[in-house]
């Protein structure tokens, strides 16, 4: 249960990072926040799958 934060952080880092790269590449600023939110959601899903049963 105490490893939950590392999942949320990892989700944010991976998909936020991808969004940030996309933003840099396409010269936009929308993908970074989308990526961060998506990452937290997926991290939350990973946590649910692992500990939520």
Partner 1 sequence: MIALTVLAPEDNFRAPSPDELFNSFTPIIPGVTWFTKPVLLAILSALVVIAVCWVAFAKPKLVPRGTQNVVEYGYMFVRDQIARPFLGKDADRWMGLLITLFFLVLFWNVLGVIPLAQFPVASHIAFPAVLAISIYVIKVYLGVKHQGGIGYFKNMMFPPGLPKPIYFLLAPIEFLSNMIIAPFTHAVRLFANMFAGHMLLAFFSMVGFWFLFEKLTPLGAPVGVVGVIMTIILTGFELFIQFLQAFLFAMLASMYIGGALHPDH
Reduced to 3 states (helix: H, G, I; strand: E, B; else coil), residue 27 is coil
DSSP-derived letter for residue 52 is -
Reduced to 3 states (helix: H, G, I; strand: E, B; else coil), residue 51 is helix
Distance CA 7, CA 15 (A): 12
Taking the complex as a whole, how short is the minimal distance between the CB of residue 28 and partner 1, in angstroms? 22
Nearer to partner 1, 22 or 42 (CB): 42
33 binds partner 1 (CB under 8 A): no
Site size for partner 1 (CB under 8 A): 17
Chain residues that interact with partner 1, rule: CB under 8 A: 2-3, 5-7, 9-11, 13-14, 39, 42-43, 45-46, 49-50
């Amino acid at each position: 249960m105490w490893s939950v934060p590392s999942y949320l952080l990892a989700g944010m880092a991976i998909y936020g990072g991808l969004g940030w790269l996309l933003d840099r590449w396409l010269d936009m600023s929308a993908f970074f926040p989308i990526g961060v939110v998506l990452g937290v959601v997926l991290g939350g899903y990973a946590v649910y799958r692992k500990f939520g049963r």
